[in-house]
């Protein structure tokens, strides 16, 4: 029979082993960070257990830098975090063909730098080329899968073609984009990916790869594939937004910080989501079709001062906060006959003038 003392020893040993294993799993990145930094010419680098090299720093003064494909017969796979940050004297960088990852802020504020991204590159992390103002044009390789926040911020890139393996793009990655093509795997729309960090957009044209299963474009307006959701309409041709009958939902931020010349919402529309319209200029009147049953919070933030309600479906809970930040001063109820209009004027006057709308405007009903 095993003594209690032996049991305690065994238990302690097992617990200690478990703690060590967990520590190794949790601190795997720390082990990587503490790897020995070695020297090869003007480069400082580390090497992982698989023999892959990460360039950690550049100590040279040349305006043209050619990063080797391999160091001591080990392939260069990563340009490390901050490796070339603030090297504003560099005018050209030749990246190695075996490169897989460009890490955070790797070339941040290399103002004069030009480069070509190699085939095989898979990951561009946050701020990798932040403020590389001289890039101007860049071709994203077909192998690319991930683009982080601010990846090409303040790089002056006006034409952006998202490769077919990229599913989403980080926020403020391409702040200067004017023409955008979404690849076939792209599925997570975020307009902030193509805006400045002050949420100013330069986008004028959006296209979608014909094999994309998630989005479609008609007259410059981005929809889901079945055209049941209006996703983004800032690039509408001539600023005219006229929705097809299939649209049921206007998504959040579908129109943001832009000017439209005409806006027609379709019969069949049911939901105008939170912040669907944000700082939209150019319209005086906003008409809500008879099928709409929900107006989201701050959903009517436009230059329009008159709201026409053709719907009988709104309730206190389905309009909560919809007038926040809006300019609406007059609400015209046009649901049918004069008696029906009067009935719903009374109903809507009651629910729209409650504090839940958070409107500072004095509303007139007609």
CA distance 326 to 277: 10
Domain boundaries, the chain: 37-213, 216-366
Q: Average the pLDDT over 209-237 and give the result.
A: 97
Q: Which residues pair with 256 in a beta bridge?
A: 278
Structure tokens at 286: 């906003």
- Angle at CA of residue 93, ends 89 and 98, nearest 5°: 150
CA distance 121 to 78: 9
**Strand 101-102 versus strand 123-124 pairing type:** parallel
Percent of the chain whose predicted confidence (pLDDT) is above 70: 89
Phi first, then psi, for residue 65 (nearest 5°) are -120, 125
Query: Exposure of 226 by Cβ count < 10 A (0-12 exposed, 13-18 middle, 19+ buried)?
Result: exposed
Q: How confident is the model at residue 11 (pLDDT cuts 50, 70, 90)?
A: low
Phi first, then psi, for residue 126 (nearest 5°) are -50, 125
More confident residue, 250 or 9: 250
What mean pLDDT, rounded, does the chain reach? 91
pLDDT at 6 over 90: no
For the chain, counts of helices (H) and of strands (E): 3, 29
Mapped onto helix, strand or coil, the DSSP state of residue 28 is helix
Could you read off the pLDDT of 258-304 as tens digits, one per residue? Answer: 999 999 999 999 999 999 999 999 999 999 999 999 999 999 999 99
Mapped onto helix, strand or coil, the DSSP state of residue 90 is coil
Fold of 37-213: 3.80.10
pLDDT at 30 over 70: no
Q: How confident is the model at residue 35 (pLDDT cuts 50, 70, 90)?
A: confident
CA 246 to chain centre: 26
Would you list the DSSP string of 96-112?
-TT--EE-TTTTTT-TT
Return the closest-CA partner of residue 150 out of 132, 167, 174. Answer: 174
Q: Average the pLDDT over 321-350 and give the result.
A: 95
Are 102 and 126 spatial neighbours (Cβ–Cβ below 8 Å)? no
pLDDT at 358 over 70: no
Does 37-213 match 216-366 in CATH topology?
A: yes
Percent of the chain whose predicted confidence (pLDDT) is above 90: 86
pTM for the model: 0.86
User: CATH code for 216-366?
Assistant: 3.80.10.10
CA distance 216 to 196: 24
Q: Which range among 90-94, 163-167, 346-350 shows the weakest confidence by mean pLDDT?
A: 346-350
Are 268 and 252 spatial neighbours (Cβ–Cβ below 8 Å)? no
CA distance 154 to 296: 34
Phi first, then psi, for residue 54 (nearest 5°) are -115, 125
**pLDDT (0 to 100) of residue 7:** 53
Return the closest-CA partner of residue 113 out of 80, 154, 54. Answer: 154
Residue 178 is given by DSSP the state S
Structure tokens at 293: 């049953």
Residue 35 is given by DSSP the state S
Q: Average the pLDDT over 34-41 and give the result.
A: 91
Count other Cβ atoms within 10 Å, centred on residue 48. 14
Structure tokens at 147: 């683009």
**pLDDT (0 to 100) of residue 362:** 80
What is the Cα Rg of the chain in Å? Answer: 28
Q: Which range among 18-32, 67-81, 144-158, 182-196 shows the weakest confidence by mean pLDDT?
A: 18-32
pLDDT at 210 over 70: yes
pLDDT at 163 over 80: yes
pLDDT at 357 over 90: no
Structure tokens at 33: 């960070």
**pLDDT (0 to 100) of residue 60:** 97
Structure tokens at 28: 């795997």
CA distance 341 to 213: 43
**pLDDT (0 to 100) of residue 34:** 67
CA distance 36 to 49: 12
């Amino acid at each position: 029979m095993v003594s209690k003392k032996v049991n305690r020893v065994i238990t302690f040993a097992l617990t200690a082993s478990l703690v060590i294993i967990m520590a190794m799993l949790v601190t795997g990145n720390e082990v990587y960070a503490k790897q020995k930094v070695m020297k090869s010419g003007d480069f400082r680098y580390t090497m992982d257990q698989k023999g892959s090299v990460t360039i950690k720093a550049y100590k040279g003064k040349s305006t043209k830098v050619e990063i080797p494909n391999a160091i001591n017969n080990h392939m260069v796979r990563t340009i490390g975090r901050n490796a070339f940050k603030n090297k504003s004297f560099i005018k050209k960088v030749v990246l190695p063909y075996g490169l897989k990852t460009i890490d955070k802020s790797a070339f941040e504020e290399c103002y004069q730098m030009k480069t070509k991204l190699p085939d095989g590159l898979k990951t561009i992390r946050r701020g990798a080329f932040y403020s590389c103002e001289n890039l101007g044009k860049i071709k994203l390789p077909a192998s690319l899968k991930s683009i982080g926040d601010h990846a090409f911020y303040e790089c002056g890139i006006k034409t952006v073609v998202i490769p077919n393996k990229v599913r989403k793009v980080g926020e403020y990655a391409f702040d200067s984009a004017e023409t955008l093509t979404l690849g076939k795997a792209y599925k997570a729309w975020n307009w902030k990916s193509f805006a400045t960090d002050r949420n100013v957009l330069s986008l004028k044209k959006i296209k979608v790869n014909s094999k994309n299963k998630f989005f479609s474009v008609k007259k410059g307006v981005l929809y889901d594939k079945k055209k049941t959701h209006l996703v983004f309409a800032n690039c509408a041709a001539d600023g005219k937004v006229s929705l097809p009958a299939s649209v049921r939902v206007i998504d959040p931020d579908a129109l943001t910080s832009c000017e439209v010349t005409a806006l027609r919402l379709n019969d069949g529309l049911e939901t105008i989501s939170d912040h669907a319209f944000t700082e939209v200029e150019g319209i005086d009147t906003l008409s809500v079709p008879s099928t709409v049953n929900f107006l989201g919070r701050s959903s009517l933030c436009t230059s329009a001062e008159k709201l026409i309600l053709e719907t009988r479906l709104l309730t206190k809970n389905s309009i909560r906060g919809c007038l926040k930040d809006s300019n609406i001063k007059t609400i015209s109820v046009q649901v049918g006959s004069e008696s029906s209009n009067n009935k719903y004027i009374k109903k809507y006057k009651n629910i729209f003038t409650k504090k839940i709308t958070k409107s500072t405007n004095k509303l007139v009903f007609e």
